[in-house]
Amino acid sequence: MINYVRLERFKCFLDETIPIANLTILAGANNTGKSSVIQSLLLLKQTVQTSGFKRSDFYDIIEPWTILINGPLIHIGNAWDIFCQNSGADDITISLGISEHPDKISKLKLLYDVKNSGTHHMNAENNGDFAILHDLLSEIRFSYVGAMRTGAQLLYPTSDEPTWNMTVGNMGQYTIHCLHQFGKEKIKMSKLSYKGAKSQTLSYQTEQYMNDFIPGIFFQYNKITEADFFTMGIRDYENSLEFFRPTNVGFGITYCLPIVVAALMSGPGDVLICENPESHLHPEAQSRLGMFLARVADAGIQVILETHSDHILNGIRIAVKKGIIKSSAVAINSFDRNHSVSTPIIDENGRIDLWPKGFFDQIEIDLMELL
């Protein structure tokens, strides 16, 4: 399990260490560095995923590796976009701490050349740290659901990855493909099974959890073979026998669905990263989604959330109080406008010891104005 990421001269961070736990919350105002933390993790995984190298290669070649800045997981731009402009040094370092290997540092050191700041690739030092990084991250499956999700569509694309290891896609675009192809297969982790559920299949479990957030919905999936696309119908089985187009139902359904499917398709040791899980959801559904993600993290899937929702936070706090997840398994990181990180601690009753300025305090600020 990842237990911290240290960023040196990466984007807005000169040198900052961010604690990572079973369930990690990244919170704070806009443009304070939350997404940059996620980008650093995705860049590491993308580096390993696209390298094509074997373990022995690191010792056969001593020349620097070429690292893609833009790839299947993350598209950052060019070298200038990555480099911290307030730094006088000429390298960028991303380091990971892995709990299973506390004596090893997984590190990616990128060499910045100001004369080639517009390049879409960078050189990385080929050393023992890079070899460790490759070994550790190559075995960890990442699922990333970004803030910009496909949402309600008439047609959903197929993925080129036909196996259970496929993901819902960075925008959730392959969610319907996953449900159509693997809907009758059992979820990987029985611990995540919905309480009282009659079936362990992905499709059934997905509907049970989705009904917990948005009651009364049922899904239908069809493939247009000639065009390699999928369609989805949604109905309220309490009030209608007809399936409606996704564009004619609430957007919260199709924005939440990829997160649930990504979680249920994950296995022990996998990493699930999600930006703004609260998008388009009613506050009650946001709170319930927070409790669900706490349960996912407790099952052994590492969950990293970037959120602006106090309802997501409170759902997680309730999950701690109810014993769904231990307080020690939750890491809260609050980012301020100086790109510094505070780490409020949550106790076993869901109480938080520190409320930095800008940390879900706007309701209190507004209420004081109304008094």
Question: Would 174 be classed as within a structural domain?
Answer: yes
Query: What is the pLDDT averaged over residues 273-290?
Result: 97
Question: Would 132 be classed as within a structural domain?
Answer: yes
Mean pLDDT lowest for which of 238-252, 278-292, 352-366? Answer: 238-252
Q: What is the pLDDT of residue 242?
A: 86
Residues 166 and 259 in one domain: yes
Question: Would 295 be classed as within a structural domain?
Answer: no
Residues 138 and 177 in one domain: no
Number of compact structural domains in the chain:
2
Q: Which residue type, as a one-letter code, is found at position 370? A: L
Residues 248 and 165 in one domain: yes
Domain range enclosing 239: 146-265
pTM: 0.93
DSSP per position, 243-301: -B-GGGS-HHHHHHHHHHHHHHT--TT-EEEEE-TTTT--HHHHHHHHHHHHHHHHTT-
pLDDT band at 62 (very low <50, low <70, confident <90, very high): low
User: Residue holding tokens 């301020």?
Assistant: 336
Query: What is the pLDDT averaged over residues 52-74?
Result: 69
pLDDT band at 125 (very low <50, low <70, confident <90, very high): confident
Question: Would 304 be classed as within a structural domain?
Answer: no
β-pairing, 229-236 with 217-224? antiparallel
Q: Which residues partner with 303 through β-bridges? A: 23, 272
Residues 243 and 171 in one domain: yes
Quick check: 55 pLDDT over 60? no
Q: Which two tokens stand for residue 310?
A: 């106090």
Question: Would 318 be classed as within a structural domain?
Answer: no
Q: What is the pLDDT of residue 54?
A: 59
Question: Would 15 be classed as within a structural domain?
Answer: yes
Mean pLDDT lowest for which of 54-63, 213-222, 256-265? Answer: 54-63
Residues 82 and 173 in one domain: no
Residues 134 and 183 in one domain: no
Spell out the alpha helix ranges (H) of the chain.
34-51, 57-60, 79-82, 128-137, 175-182, 202-213, 251-264, 283-298, 310-321, 362-370
Q: What is the pLDDT of residue 341?
A: 95
Last residue of a domain, one of 142, 171, 195: 142
Residues 100 and 9 in one domain: yes
Last residue of a domain, one of 99, 119, 142: 142
Question: Would 316 be classed as within a structural domain?
Answer: no
Question: Would 279 be classed as within a structural domain?
Answer: no
Residues 65 and 160 in one domain: no
Span 205-236, pLDDT tens digits: 999 999 999 998 899 999 998 899 999 999 87
**C-alpha dihedral sign at 9, 13, 14, 16:** negative
What's the mean per-residue pLDDT of the chain?
90
Residues of the chain above pLDDT 70, percent: 95
Residues 121 and 68 in one domain: yes
Residues 133 and 151 in one domain: no
Q: What is the pLDDT of residue 221?
A: 93
Residues 111 and 8 in one domain: yes
> From CA 315, how far away is CA 177, in angstroms rounded?
30
Residues 133 and 7 in one domain: yes
Q: What is the pLDDT of residue 237?
A: 65
Burial class (CB in 10 A: 0-12, 13-18, 19+), 350: middle
Last residue of a domain, one of 142, 173, 203: 142
